[in-house]
């Protein structure tokens, strides 16, 4: 069942309140120990060393019988832009890990990477297929310039994102699936979910949110309702509402995605950086 106008107002207010609480208590994740604080223990092997001949034979067996793992590996060819792309990626990787890179340097790296990836994908269209393949999984939002509407409202750009927001993508389903959740620590406050399509030529991801889960309670919604709820709480842009009224879906123009980070420009014009997380409970 879809929601009525009174229910929609209640949901908007609830999501806005939960988002405010998330921003207020976003420091909860600070109490989670960093990986560097965890003590790892290694077990010293007491087995005698294998001979070099045995190792060579074993290596050949592995080559012959190991499963093919090249399916999800890099398929695009090297281009003249790869060196500059690597420099941008290095800055963004550091920003995702430490949140200490200068904000202006991060924005510059995002803008330059956007231009370089556009050239690379034009020279080698298979690079876009890599982006789509690498999108699979969960991503925590680390940095965003915010939409123009948000920048005008708060009189500045948003930089390192203060609360836990996780987007997940699944291309193993038909249609593809997307989820967008807001958390306090590892506690899920609200999550939107629905299908998405990906245009390989433009690297454009268009999506619809058809469900919303509030504190684990799931409700079916229309895409225009999701756009209005997102815009009213700062989780989406006003342009999504206008697009929905014209029968168009909200979208991201994806710049890149690899083993560690993903970058994109949203429909509202803002740039964003995500960090891959193995599971939703991971910081």
List the chain pLDDT tens, one digit each, 283 residues.
Answer: 555 555 555 555 555 545 544 444 333 333 233 333 333 333 333 444 444 444 454 344 334 444 443 434 455 778 899 999 999 999 999 999 999 999 999 999 999 999 999 999 999 999 999 999 999 999 999 999 876 665 565 555 668 998 999 999 999 999 999 999 999 988 999 999 999 999 999 999 999 889 999 887 898 887 666 666 655 444 455 666 666 666 678 889 999 999 999 999 988 888 999 999 986 545 5
Cβ atoms of 254 and 110 within 8 Å: the answer is no
Cβ atoms of 274 and 263 within 8 Å: the answer is yes
Distance (Å, rounded) from C-alpha 241 to C-alpha 280? 28
* Both structure tokens of 111: 């803008």
Half-sphere exposure of 232 (CA within 13 A, CB side): 17
Cα 63 to Cα 60, 66, 74, distances in angstroms:
5, 6, 19
Cβ-based burial of 99 (10 A; exposed 0-12, middle 13-18, buried ≥19): middle
Helices (H), the chain: 5-24, 52-65, 82-98, 103-123, 126-135, 148-154, 223-233, 238-245
Half-sphere exposure of 276 (CA within 13 A, CB side): 14
pTM of the full structure:
0.69
């Amino acid at each position: 069942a879809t929601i009525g106008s009174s229910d929609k107002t209640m949901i908007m207010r609830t999501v806005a309140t939960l988002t405010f609480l998330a921003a207020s208590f976003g420091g909860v994740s600070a109490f989670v120990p960093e990986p560097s604080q965890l003590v790892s223990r290694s077990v010293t092997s007491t087995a005698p060393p294998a001979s070099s001949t045995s190792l060579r034979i074993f290596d050949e067996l592995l080559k012959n019988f190991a499963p093919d793992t090249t399916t999800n590996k890099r398929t695009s060819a090297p281009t003249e832009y790869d060196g500059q792309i690597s420099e941008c990626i290095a800055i963004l990787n550091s920003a995702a890990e430490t949140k200490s890179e200068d904000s202006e340097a991060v924005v510059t790296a995002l803008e330059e990477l956007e231009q370089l990836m556009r050239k690379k994908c034009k020279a080698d269209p298979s690079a876009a297929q890599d982006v789509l393949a690498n999108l699979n999984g969960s991503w925590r939002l680390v940095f965003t310039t915010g939409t123009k509407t948000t920048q005008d409202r708060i009189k500045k750009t948003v930089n390192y994102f203060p609360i836990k927001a996780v987007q997940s993508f699944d291309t193993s389903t038909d249609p593809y699936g997307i989820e967008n959740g807001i958390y306090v620590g590892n506690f899920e406050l609200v999550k939107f979910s629905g299908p998405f399509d990906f245009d390989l030529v433009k690297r454009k991801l268009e999506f619809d949110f058809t469900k919303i889960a509030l504190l684990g309670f799931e409700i079916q919604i229309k895409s225009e309702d999701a756009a209005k709820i997102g815009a009213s709480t700062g989780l989406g842009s006003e342009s999504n509402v206008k697009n929905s009224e014209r029968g168009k879906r909200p979208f991201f123009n994806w710049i890149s995605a690899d083993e560690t980070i993903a970058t994109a420009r949203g429909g509202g014009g803002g740039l964003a950086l995500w960090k891959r997380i193995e599971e939703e409970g991971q910081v």
